[in-house]
Amino acid sequence: MVAASGADARKTIHPLFVRVTHWVNAFAIFVMVLSGWRIYNASPLFGFEFPAGFTLGGWLAGALAWHFAAMWLLALNGFAYLAYGLVSGHFRRSFLPISFGGALDDVFLAMRGLLDHAPGRYNAAQRLLYIGVILAVIVAILSGLAIWKPVQLQTLTAAMGGYEAARRVHFFAMAAIVAFLVVHIGLAVSVKGILAPMFTGRAEAPR
Ligand code: HEM
């Protein structure tokens, strides 16, 4: 989509729909993760708790209220993003083709500081990570539903291996999302010229 004008030969590299859903999603994920950590602390699955200062909701009921409120935002916004991505061709254009070898090559190039980041074109590692995190969010939502309504949605809960297994699936989906975010936010703030276009949409046209 070209939006260049006169002296400013820049292009719209992130469609408005993607930008709006991305930032709504980022907000919803932060609320879900931090309130989820408070809910986890009420009945830890593993031998540790999350530091109270990094949790949201104050107490179990408060955290559940935040978690369920953000859940609707995440699910509705996520559905809109998926529908747009599939119908408009955004996913096909931006995330395909997928190449595991290419992603590995890009990681090695990035580690040596040699990875060229062309605005508006995701490299192979980014494509794989973005598809991976979208799948992790879907798994988090499905496993969350399985532990929220284990009686009404017993087929889903059974497909996850039962209630206890679904809790673990939910935890590891969260862990995958948080691991993605550490890398994603780290790169977004350290690689020059990629954060601003995610707000404005515009950047130098990719060559
Ligand atoms: C403070 C939090 C976040 C920041 C600063 C951030 C930053 C960015 C930036 C700068 C891009 C564009 C990258 C580029 O042009 O090379 C991007 C894209 C993307 N981010 Fe984030 N992000 C954040 C949170 C999240 C979260 C929570 C998720 C998902 C769980 C996410 C998933 C994605 C995806 C899937 C894309 C590709 C979007 C598309 O083109 O369809 N981000 N993000």
Which residue is closest in CA terms to ligand 1's atom 23? 26
Q: Is 173 near ligand 1, meaning CB less than 6 Å away?
A: no
pLDDT at 2: 41
Query: Does residue 120 contact residue 206 with C-beta atoms inside 8 Å?
Result: yes
| Short-list 55, 24, 82, CA closest to 198 | 24
- Asked if residue 187 has its Cβ within 6 Å of ligand 1, the reply is no
> Averaged over 67-93, what is the pLDDT?
97
Under DSSP, is residue 37 helix (H, G, I), strand (E, B) or coil?
Answer: helix
Please name the residue whose Cα sits nearest to atom 11 of ligand 1.
198
Residue 148 beta carbon below 6 angstroms from any ligand 1 atom: no
Please give the average per-residue pLDDT across 179-197, as a whole number: 94
Per-residue confidence band for 192, with pLDDT thresholds at 50, 70 and 90: confident
**179 ligand 1 Cβ < 6 A:** no
Specify the CATH number of the domain 17-204.
1.20.950.20
Nearest CA residue ID for atom 10, ligand 1: 195
What pLDDT is attached to residue 34? 98
Digit-coded pLDDT (tens) for 129-165: 999 999 999 999 999 999 999 999 999 999 999 999 9
Is the Cβ–Cβ distance between 2 and 178 less than 8 Å?
Answer: no
Nearest to 120 by CA among 186, 33, 206: 206
The ligand 1 atom nearest the CA atom of 136: 30
Phi, psi of 12 (to 5 degrees): -80, 110
Ligand 1 atom 33: the closest Cα is on which residue? 130
Say which range, 83-97, 110-124, 180-194, has the weakest mean pLDDT: 110-124
pLDDT in tens, 16-65: 999 999 999 999 999 999 999 999 999 999 999 999 999 999 999 999 99
What whole-number distance in Å separates Cα of residue 178 and Cα of residue 40?
15
| pLDDT tens, position by position, 98-124 | 999 999 999 999 888 888 777 788 999
Number of other residues whose CB lies within 10 A of the CB of residue 107:
14
Is residue 195 scored above 60 in pLDDT? yes
Angle at 61 between CA 151 and CA 23, to 5 degrees: 90
Contact 24, 77 (CB under 8 A): yes
- Is 198 close to ligand 1, i.e. is its CB under 6 Å away? yes
58 in Cβ contact with 26 (< 8 Å):
no
Question: In this predicted structure, what is the pLDDT of residue 8?
Answer: 55
Residue 36: name the closest of 172, 194, 171, 186 by CA.
171
- Average pLDDT rounded to a whole number, residues 157-177: 97
φ and ψ of 118, to 5 deg: -85, 120
Maximum C-alpha span of the chain = 62
Q: What is the CA radius of gyration of the chain?
A: 19
Does residue 195 have its Cβ closer than 6 Å to ligand 1? yes
Residue ranges covered by each domain of the chain: 17-204
Distance in Å, CA 170 to ligand 1 centroid: 21
Residue 9, number of CB atoms within 10 A of its CB: 10
Rounded distance from Cα 80 to ligand 1 centre (Å): 16
Q: What is the pLDDT of residue 169?
A: 98
Q: Is the CB of 181 under 6 A from ligand 1?
A: yes
